[in-house]
Amino acid sequence: MSYTPPPRDPKAPPVRVNLLSDTQTRPTPAMREAMARAEVGDEQSGDDPTVHELCGRVAALLGKEAAVFMPSGTMCNVAATLVHCRPGDEILAHETAHIISREGGAHAALGGFQVTQLKGPDGQFTPQTFRAALHPRSRYQPPQTVVSVEQTANIGGGTIWKKTALDEIVQIAKAQGMATHMDGARLLNATVATGIPAAEMTAGWDSAWIDFSKGLGAPIGGALAGSAAFIDEVWRWKQRLGGSMRQAGIVAAACIYALDHHVDRLAEDHANARALARGLSQIQGVEVQEPETNLVFFKPDGAGVSGDKMVGELRKRGVLLAMMDGRIRACTHLDVSAGMIEETVGHVREIVRTA
């Protein structure tokens, strides 16, 4: 099995609608202009003013003392657990969480951590499930050090953790002396959908981060926030992992532009996701999960078309979607218009009709 992504097939049809992921977004012309004008310095030496501005903005946004700019969200998750835990410690997370299913086993490979998988519908576990998974401190069992949630829950369908559940999980964790970590890759989708400010959503969580390369449309980057002492230790791991950068202000400027211009517009992605779900649900035999944010999961099996066949047929028409956890996932973002949603529904209807 190859671990290197193959280059795009030059014979493949041109892409008309890209619903693979919100990571497929391209920097807008205005964002590129902001990047070109960015004031820069050596980020690794603490001399990049644009990176400093971004970190200050994120710390304030999430209600934390400090923040650090990272090349990727995965590095945010990995560095956070490497600070919170010691080898042999146990992390509790949902069985479909990104730290389990999409990070190459980094937490076990780099930190020697055990990740206990908690069950629950729609990518979320209940506070009761979390409490039931706790065990007394004993030399026979690993120390339970961290509980992690993913806001929004990707494989769960882009579902939003309710504030009451987040608060209760924090209370349980603190009573056990555990640290709390929020994978906030799509946290701002949740805040836009609910109207709850990000700082309220992350209140009580020792570490949290946001991604800029998904719905916010920047080319790369995430920012991890927490206490000043925590971020100081994260910097040590950022250095060890090769995440320290030089003139990073060029990409940090894209992230600042995204915070200024691309947060409120996430509501458009949510509206397009609802329109896509509505159109698909009107096709007989297509089972659709009602979206809460910008992710739409559906199964066409009842219409006599397998998910793999549907994805393949759509690709022939220049529409890109992905299979994930046995279902088809469509992800709306700033490069997807309402017209593209209508076109996608039309293609699915045609494929079902000729099946």
pLDDT of 319-352, one tens digit each?
A: 999 999 899 999 999 999 999 999 999 999 999 9
Q: How far apart are CA 159 and CA 341, in angstroms?
A: 20
pLDDT of residue 4: 78
| Across 175-197, average pLDDT | 98
Going through 212-294 in order, the beta strands assigned E by DSSP cover 222-226, 287-288
CB 158 within 8 A of CB 294: yes
Indicate left, alpha or beta for 63 from its phi (over 0: left) and psi (-120 to 50: alpha): left
Going by C-alpha positions, the residue among 144, 155, 146 that lies closest to residue 98 is 155
- Count the residues in the chain: 355
Whether pLDDT at 134 is above 90 = yes
Distances (CA, A) of 63 to 23, 33, 252: 26, 29, 20
Whether pLDDT at 12 is above 90 = no
| CATH 3.40.640.10 location in the chain | 38-261
| CATH 3.90.1150.10 location in the chain | 17-26+265-353
Class of domain 38-261: alpha beta
Q: Binning pLDDT at 50, 70 and 90, where does residue 9 land?
A: confident
Rg of the Cα trace of the chain?
21
Q: What is the pLDDT of residues 217-276, one digit of tens each?
A: 999 999 999 999 999 999 999 999 999 999 999 999 999 999 999 999 999 999 999 999
The CATH superfamily label for domain 17-26+265-353 reads Aspartate Aminotransferase, domain 1 (3.90.1150.10)
pLDDT of residue 11: 81
Q: Binning pLDDT at 50, 70 and 90, where does residue 355 land?
A: confident
Share of the chain above pLDDT 70, in %: 99
Q: How far apart are CA 262 and CA 183, in angstroms?
A: 20
| Across 77-103, average pLDDT | 98
Going by C-alpha positions, the residue among 54, 78, 77 that lies closest to residue 248 is 54
Residue 150's SS3 state is: strand
pLDDT of residue 2: 66
Q: How far apart are CA 144 and CA 179, in angstroms?
A: 9
